[in-house]
Chains A and B, each alone.
Chain A
Amino acid sequence: MLIRVTEAPISADEGARAVASPAAGAINVFLGVVRNTNLGRAVSHLVYDAYPSMAEKEMRAIAEEAKARFGLEDCAILHRTGRLEIGETSLVVAVSCGHRRESYEAGLWVVNEVKKRVPVWKKEVWEDGEEWIEGPESLGMQQAPASMQR
Protein backbone atom coordinates (compact mmCIF):
# COMPACT_ATOMS: atom_id res chain seq x y z
CA MET A 1 0.00 0.00 0.00
CA LEU A 2 1.76 3.15 -1.19
CA ILE A 3 0.80 6.24 0.84
CA ARG A 4 2.76 9.48 0.52
CA VAL A 5 2.55 13.23 1.02
CA THR A 6 5.42 14.83 -0.87
CA GLU A 7 6.67 18.06 -2.44
CA ALA A 8 8.10 16.07 -5.35
CA PRO A 9 6.12 15.41 -8.56
CA ILE A 10 3.77 12.38 -8.51
CA SER A 11 2.57 10.35 -11.50
CA ALA A 12 -0.07 7.92 -12.76
CA ASP A 13 2.70 5.44 -13.56
CA GLU A 14 3.92 5.39 -10.00
CA GLY A 15 0.39 4.78 -8.69
CA ALA A 16 -0.35 2.04 -11.24
CA ARG A 17 2.96 0.26 -10.60
CA ALA A 18 2.40 0.37 -6.84
CA VAL A 19 -0.95 -1.47 -6.99
CA ALA A 20 -0.04 -4.04 -9.68
CA SER A 21 -1.05 -7.57 -8.67
CA PRO A 22 -1.34 -10.91 -10.49
CA ALA A 23 -4.87 -11.23 -9.04
CA ALA A 24 -6.01 -7.90 -10.54
CA GLY A 25 -8.06 -7.70 -13.72
CA ALA A 26 -8.46 -3.95 -13.39
CA ILE A 27 -6.27 -1.06 -12.31
CA ASN A 28 -8.00 2.31 -12.10
CA VAL A 29 -5.95 5.49 -11.71
CA PHE A 30 -7.43 8.90 -10.91
CA LEU A 31 -5.40 12.11 -11.25
CA GLY A 32 -6.39 15.36 -9.63
CA VAL A 33 -4.80 18.15 -11.70
CA VAL A 34 -4.53 21.90 -11.31
CA ARG A 35 -7.20 23.72 -13.36
CA ASN A 36 -6.76 27.21 -14.79
CA THR A 37 -10.08 28.59 -13.51
CA ASN A 38 -12.30 28.25 -10.46
CA LEU A 39 -15.74 29.82 -10.06
CA GLY A 40 -15.06 31.87 -13.18
CA ARG A 41 -11.78 33.33 -11.96
CA ALA A 42 -8.42 32.77 -13.71
CA VAL A 43 -6.05 30.80 -11.49
CA SER A 44 -2.31 31.46 -11.76
CA HIS A 45 -1.15 28.55 -9.60
CA LEU A 46 -1.96 26.69 -6.37
CA VAL A 47 -0.04 26.34 -3.11
CA TYR A 48 -0.80 23.25 -0.98
CA ASP A 49 -0.22 23.09 2.77
CA ALA A 50 -0.52 19.84 4.76
CA TYR A 51 -0.19 18.23 8.16
CA PRO A 52 1.94 15.52 6.59
CA SER A 53 2.12 12.94 9.38
CA MET A 54 -1.63 13.04 10.07
CA ALA A 55 -2.46 13.25 6.35
CA GLU A 56 -0.55 10.03 5.72
CA LYS A 57 -2.33 8.39 8.66
CA GLU A 58 -5.76 9.38 7.30
CA MET A 59 -4.81 8.31 3.77
CA ARG A 60 -3.68 4.92 5.08
CA ALA A 61 -6.97 4.51 7.00
CA ILE A 62 -8.95 5.40 3.84
CA ALA A 63 -6.95 2.92 1.74
CA GLU A 64 -7.44 0.15 4.32
CA GLU A 65 -11.16 0.85 4.49
CA ALA A 66 -11.42 0.88 0.68
CA LYS A 67 -9.65 -2.47 0.46
CA ALA A 68 -12.10 -4.06 2.88
CA ARG A 69 -15.20 -2.33 1.52
CA PHE A 70 -14.58 -3.01 -2.19
CA GLY A 71 -12.44 -6.17 -1.98
CA LEU A 72 -9.42 -4.46 -3.54
CA GLU A 73 -6.07 -6.11 -4.11
CA ASP A 74 -4.30 -2.85 -3.34
CA CYS A 75 -4.75 0.91 -3.11
CA ALA A 76 -2.24 3.77 -3.45
CA ILE A 77 -2.80 7.42 -2.52
CA LEU A 78 -0.22 10.13 -3.27
CA HIS A 79 -0.72 13.84 -2.54
CA ARG A 80 1.64 16.58 -3.58
CA THR A 81 2.22 19.78 -1.56
CA GLY A 82 3.94 23.11 -2.15
CA ARG A 83 3.54 25.20 -5.30
CA LEU A 84 1.80 23.53 -8.26
CA GLU A 85 1.40 25.01 -11.74
CA ILE A 86 -1.60 24.62 -14.08
CA GLY A 87 -1.80 21.04 -15.39
CA GLU A 88 0.39 19.53 -12.69
CA THR A 89 -0.87 16.50 -10.72
CA SER A 90 -1.83 17.15 -7.10
CA LEU A 91 -3.47 13.79 -6.28
CA VAL A 92 -2.99 10.22 -7.50
CA VAL A 93 -5.43 7.49 -6.42
CA ALA A 94 -4.80 4.02 -7.82
CA VAL A 95 -6.78 0.87 -7.04
CA SER A 96 -6.45 -2.70 -8.28
CA CYS A 97 -9.10 -5.39 -8.10
CA GLY A 98 -10.73 -8.26 -9.98
CA HIS A 99 -13.09 -6.34 -12.22
CA ARG A 100 -13.80 -2.88 -13.63
CA ARG A 101 -16.98 -1.99 -11.76
CA GLU A 102 -15.52 -2.07 -8.28
CA SER A 103 -12.37 -0.30 -9.54
CA TYR A 104 -14.44 2.74 -10.57
CA GLU A 105 -16.61 2.67 -7.45
CA ALA A 106 -13.62 2.32 -5.13
CA GLY A 107 -11.64 5.03 -6.93
CA LEU A 108 -14.46 7.56 -6.58
CA TRP A 109 -15.07 6.62 -2.95
CA VAL A 110 -11.39 7.10 -2.08
CA VAL A 111 -11.18 10.52 -3.75
CA ASN A 112 -14.35 11.64 -1.95
CA GLU A 113 -12.96 10.53 1.42
CA VAL A 114 -9.67 12.36 0.76
CA LYS A 115 -11.63 15.57 0.16
CA LYS A 116 -13.61 15.05 3.36
CA ARG A 117 -10.97 14.34 5.93
CA VAL A 118 -7.31 14.37 4.86
CA PRO A 119 -5.63 17.46 6.39
CA VAL A 120 -4.40 19.14 3.20
CA TRP A 121 -5.31 22.66 2.09
CA LYS A 122 -5.04 24.53 -1.20
CA LYS A 123 -4.53 28.23 -1.71
CA GLU A 124 -5.64 29.67 -5.05
CA VAL A 125 -3.38 32.40 -6.36
CA TRP A 126 -4.87 34.78 -8.96
CA GLU A 127 -3.38 37.72 -10.85
CA ASP A 128 -4.79 40.09 -8.23
CA GLY A 129 -4.97 38.15 -4.99
CA GLU A 130 -5.11 34.80 -3.24
CA GLU A 131 -7.34 32.79 -0.92
CA TRP A 132 -7.17 29.57 1.12
CA ILE A 133 -10.00 27.35 -0.12
CA GLU A 134 -12.44 25.71 2.31
CA GLY A 135 -13.57 22.45 0.73
CA PRO A 136 -17.38 22.22 0.54
CA GLU A 137 -17.11 18.45 1.14
CA SER A 138 -14.82 18.78 4.19
CA LEU A 139 -16.00 17.60 7.60
CA GLY A 140 -15.45 21.16 8.85
CA MET A 141 -17.85 22.74 6.36
CA GLN A 142 -20.40 19.99 6.96
CA GLN A 143 -20.54 20.87 10.67
CA ALA A 144 -20.82 24.60 9.95
CA PRO A 145 -24.04 26.53 10.43
CA ALA A 146 -26.07 26.42 7.21
CA SER A 147 -25.54 30.14 6.68
CA MET A 148 -21.78 29.56 6.28
CA GLN A 149 -22.03 26.73 3.75
CA ARG A 150 -21.45 27.50 0.10
Chain B
Amino acid sequence: MGAMGTVTVLLFASLAERAGTRRLELPLEEGATVGEVRDRVVAQFPQLAPAVPTLMYALDEEYAREDAPVRPGSTLALIPPVSGG
Protein backbone atom coordinates (compact mmCIF):
# COMPACT_ATOMS: atom_id res chain seq x y z
CA MET B 1 0.00 0.00 0.00
CA GLY B 2 1.56 3.29 -1.09
CA ALA B 3 1.03 6.81 0.17
CA MET B 4 -1.94 8.58 -1.40
CA GLY B 5 -2.23 12.16 -0.37
CA THR B 6 -1.84 13.65 3.05
CA VAL B 7 -3.72 14.18 6.28
CA THR B 8 -3.48 17.31 8.42
CA VAL B 9 -3.32 16.56 12.16
CA LEU B 10 -4.31 19.20 14.73
CA LEU B 11 -3.15 19.18 18.35
CA PHE B 12 -4.58 21.29 21.17
CA ALA B 13 -4.02 22.23 24.80
CA SER B 14 -1.80 19.72 26.65
CA LEU B 15 -1.05 17.78 23.45
CA ALA B 16 0.14 20.89 21.59
CA GLU B 17 2.35 21.88 24.52
CA ARG B 18 3.88 18.43 24.87
CA ALA B 19 4.52 18.06 21.14
CA GLY B 20 5.64 21.67 20.67
CA THR B 21 3.38 22.05 17.63
CA ARG B 22 -0.32 22.54 16.89
CA ARG B 23 -0.36 21.18 13.35
CA LEU B 24 1.41 18.60 11.22
CA GLU B 25 1.05 17.06 7.78
CA LEU B 26 1.49 13.31 7.38
CA PRO B 27 1.49 11.16 4.25
CA LEU B 28 -1.66 9.03 4.27
CA GLU B 29 -1.51 5.31 3.57
CA GLU B 30 -4.40 3.95 1.55
CA GLY B 31 -7.20 2.74 3.82
CA ALA B 32 -5.66 4.19 6.99
CA THR B 33 -7.99 4.65 9.95
CA VAL B 34 -8.14 7.37 12.60
CA GLY B 35 -6.40 5.04 15.05
CA GLU B 36 -3.59 4.26 12.59
CA VAL B 37 -2.91 7.94 11.92
CA ARG B 38 -2.98 8.53 15.71
CA ASP B 39 -0.39 5.78 16.15
CA ARG B 40 1.87 7.47 13.60
CA VAL B 41 1.60 10.76 15.49
CA VAL B 42 2.43 9.01 18.78
CA ALA B 43 5.42 7.31 17.12
CA GLN B 44 6.69 10.75 16.15
CA PHE B 45 5.87 12.28 19.57
CA PRO B 46 6.16 9.49 22.18
CA GLN B 47 5.45 12.05 24.92
CA LEU B 48 1.78 11.94 23.76
CA ALA B 49 1.36 8.22 24.54
CA PRO B 50 -0.01 8.67 28.09
CA ALA B 51 -2.87 10.80 26.70
CA VAL B 52 -4.18 8.13 24.30
CA PRO B 53 -6.70 6.36 26.61
CA THR B 54 -8.78 9.54 27.03
CA LEU B 55 -8.43 10.92 23.49
CA MET B 56 -11.41 11.72 21.29
CA TYR B 57 -11.06 12.28 17.54
CA ALA B 58 -12.63 14.62 15.00
CA LEU B 59 -12.47 14.22 11.23
CA ASP B 60 -13.17 17.48 9.43
CA GLU B 61 -14.76 18.94 12.58
CA GLU B 62 -17.07 15.98 13.36
CA TYR B 63 -16.41 13.49 16.17
CA ALA B 64 -15.20 10.23 14.63
CA ARG B 65 -14.47 6.73 15.89
CA GLU B 66 -11.03 5.21 16.03
CA ASP B 67 -11.89 2.77 13.22
CA ALA B 68 -13.20 5.45 10.83
CA PRO B 69 -11.35 5.66 7.50
CA VAL B 70 -9.35 8.83 6.84
CA ARG B 71 -9.81 10.33 3.38
CA PRO B 72 -6.93 12.10 1.63
CA GLY B 73 -6.88 15.82 2.29
CA SER B 74 -8.91 15.58 5.47
CA THR B 75 -8.13 17.09 8.87
CA LEU B 76 -7.85 14.88 11.95
CA ALA B 77 -8.01 16.59 15.34
CA LEU B 78 -6.77 14.79 18.44
CA ILE B 79 -9.05 15.98 21.22
CA PRO B 80 -7.99 15.56 24.86
CA PRO B 81 -10.80 15.63 27.49
CA VAL B 82 -12.54 18.98 27.02
CA SER B 83 -12.77 21.40 29.94
CA GLY B 84 -14.65 24.46 28.70
CA GLY B 85 -17.29 26.39 30.57
A contact set with B: CB distance below 8 Å: 32, 48-51, 53-55, 57, 79, 90-91, 111, 114-123, 132-135, 138-141, 143-145, 148
In the bound complex, residues from chain A placing their C-beta under 8 Å from that of B62 are 54, 57
In the bound complex, residues from chain B placing their C-beta under 8 Å from that of A132 are 13-14, 17, 80, 83
Roughly how many angstroms separate A84 CA and B4 CA in the complex, as a whole number?
43
Out of A51, A54, A122, A144, name the residue touching B83 (CB < 8 Å). A122
CB atoms of A121 and B83 under 8 A apart: yes
Binary CB contact string for chain B from 45 to 68 against chain A (1 if under 8 A, 0 otherwise): 000000001111010011100000
In the bound complex, residues from chain B placing their C-beta under 8 Å from that of A50 are 12, 84
Smallest distance from the beta carbon of B56 to chain A beta carbons, Å?
Answer: 5
Q: Which 5 A-B pairs have the closest CB atoms?
A: A120-B84, A140-B81, A121-B13, A135-B83, A134-B81
| Chain B interface, DSSP helix/strand/loop, else mixed | mixed
Q: Which of A53, A90, A121, A141 has the most CB of B within 10 A?
A: A121
**Interface status of B1 (Cβ within 8 A of chain A):** no
Roughly how many angstroms separate A116 CA and B55 CA in the complex, as a whole number?
13
B contact set with A: CB distance below 8 Å: 10, 12-14, 16-17, 53-56, 58, 61-63, 77, 79-85
| Chain A interface, DSSP helix/strand/loop, else mixed | mixed
In the bound complex, residues from chain A placing their C-beta under 8 Å from that of B80 are 121, 132, 134, 140
CB atoms of A119 and B58 under 8 A apart: yes
Given contacts A134-B81, A148-B53, 20 further A-B contacts (CB under 8 A): A49-B13, A51-B61, A51-B77, A51-B79, A54-B58, A54-B77, A79-B84, A91-B84, A111-B85, A114-B84, A119-B82, A120-B82, A120-B83, A120-B84, A132-B17, A135-B83, A139-B56, A139-B81, A144-B53, A144-B81
In the bound complex, residues from chain A placing their C-beta under 8 Å from that of B58 are 51, 54, 119
In the bound complex, residues from chain A placing their C-beta under 8 Å from that of B82 are 115-121, 135, 138-140
In the bound complex, residues from chain B placing their C-beta under 8 Å from that of A122 are 83-84
Roughly how many angstroms separate A53 CA and B60 CA in the complex, as a whole number?
10
Smallest distance from the beta carbon of A145 to chain B beta carbons, Å?
Answer: 6
